[in-house]
Amino acid sequence: MDRRTFLGAWTGSLLAAPVVAGAQPDVIVTQGTPGAQAAQRATKTTPIVMAASGDAVKLGLVASLAPPGGNVTGQTIIADEPFNAWRSGTPMSSTGRSKPQ
């Protein structure tokens, strides 16, 4: 296993992703949205696994959550509804959907 760590969020990821993809790894694992976006720009064939990212559909990393399509998969954080409900004071169920009043 070849492990490479790049700091600098977006700029570091943009500079590092082509180098990593050029080494033709079996898989690329990213942490955070900038790394996933940079890796996706660098390769359309090497599988990319996101350890975490923002909303992958809204960001264009995947076509949908089921199935994601393309070469990107992994964990995405979709917090719009829970955050908006929290901000407005709406009670939430354990599924993250608003409870009927």
Can you give the pLDDT at residue 66? Answer: 83
> How would residue 15 be classed by pLDDT, with cut points 50, 70 and 90?
confident
Domain contains 100:
no
- Determine, yes or no, domain membership for 98: no
Q: Are strands 72-74 and 28-30 parallel, antiparallel or unpaired?
A: unpaired
pLDDT over 90 for what percent of the chain? 34
For residue 2, tell me if it sits in a domain.
Answer: no
What's the pTM value of the predicted model, to 2 decimals?
A: 0.72
Domain residues for the domain of 33 are 9-88
Whether the per-residue pLDDT at 22 is higher than 60: the answer is yes
pLDDT at 77: 81
Lowest mean pLDDT among 3-17, 27-41, 61-75: 3-17
Q: Are 79 and 54 in contact (CB under 8 A)?
A: no
Per-residue pLDDT tens digits for 23-64:
999 999 988 888 899 999 999 999 999 988 888 988 999 998
Best CA proximity match to 62, nearest among 15, 53, 13, 42: 53
Q: What is the mean pLDDT of residues 9-17?
A: 77
Query: Per the domain annotation, does 71 fall within a domain?
Result: yes
Whether 3 maps to a domain, the answer reads no
State how many domains the chain has. 1
- 95 in any annotated domain: no
In angstroms, rounded to a whole number, what is the distance separating the alpha carbons of residues 101 and 89? Answer: 12
Residue pair 11/20 in contact by the 8 Å Cβ criterion: no
Distance CA 75, CA 17 (A): 19
The CATH number of residue 66's host domain is 3.40.50.2300
